[in-house]
Amino acid sequence: MLIIYDIVSNRRRNKFAKCLNGYGFRVQKSAFEALIEKRLFLKLQKEIPQLIDPSADSVRIYRMTGYGEVDLYGVNTEIKADDIMIL
């Protein structure tokens, strides 16, 4: 999966990145790749809302299985079909 984020606060951003280090590895400043089993993914889904401010921050998780799925948290929680292109 690919996890990308835009977190306004330096403190929250550092805490979020530290959490993601336990799941995968950083590929860019605000992007992590992870290959995790479902149990860990469910744990991550519970942690994310506690680490961000949903009125200011944005987190996207792109699951790269089958047709793929996207989970969105925080700002910009709506996506349109023409907004997505997976390469």
Task: Assign residue 25 the CATH number of its domain.
Answer: 3.30.70.240
Q: What is the pLDDT of residue 13?
A: 96
Local mean pLDDT, 10-residue blocks, the chain (87 residues): 95 96 90 90 95 95 77 68 48
Query: What's the domain count of the chain?
Result: 1
Q: What is the pLDDT of residue 87?
A: 44
Q: What is the pLDDT of residue 46?
A: 95
Q: What is the pTM of this model?
A: 0.76
Residue 10 belongs to domain spanning: 2-83
CA quadruple 15, 44, 65, 59: dihedral positive or negative? negative
Q: What is the pLDDT of residue 76?
A: 62
